[in-house]
Amino acid sequence: MFMEIVISSSGSAECTITSASATEIVCDLGGSVPGLVDTIVNVDGYGNSDSTVQFTYEFTPGSASPDTG
């Protein structure tokens, strides 16, 4: 069974599944815009989830240049 997770706000980001069970899906999320985003799970042959699961995608800069001024 193929599963795909789509993280959606103004666009979408891939979420590579690292493990899955009947009750939980764990994935590594790629880049996206910061903010509140919807989560849609698509299971091949069954369609999209109707869940309203959301989470906040946070932006944490690693550095800034220039550091003064």
How many angstroms separate the CA atoms of 6 and 17, rounded?
11
Rounded to an integer, what is the distance from CA 53 to the centroid of its chain?
11
pLDDT for position 59? 77
Global model pTM greater than 0.85: no
Q: Is the pLDDT of residue 1 over 70?
A: no
What's the pLDDT band for 8 if we cut at 50, 70, 90? low
How many angstroms separate the CA atoms of 49 and 5, rounded?
10
Per-residue pLDDT reduced to its tens digit, 18-55: 888 878 888 877 666 777 877 777 777 888 888 777 87
pLDDT for position 24? 80
> Between 16 and 7, where is the model more confident?
16
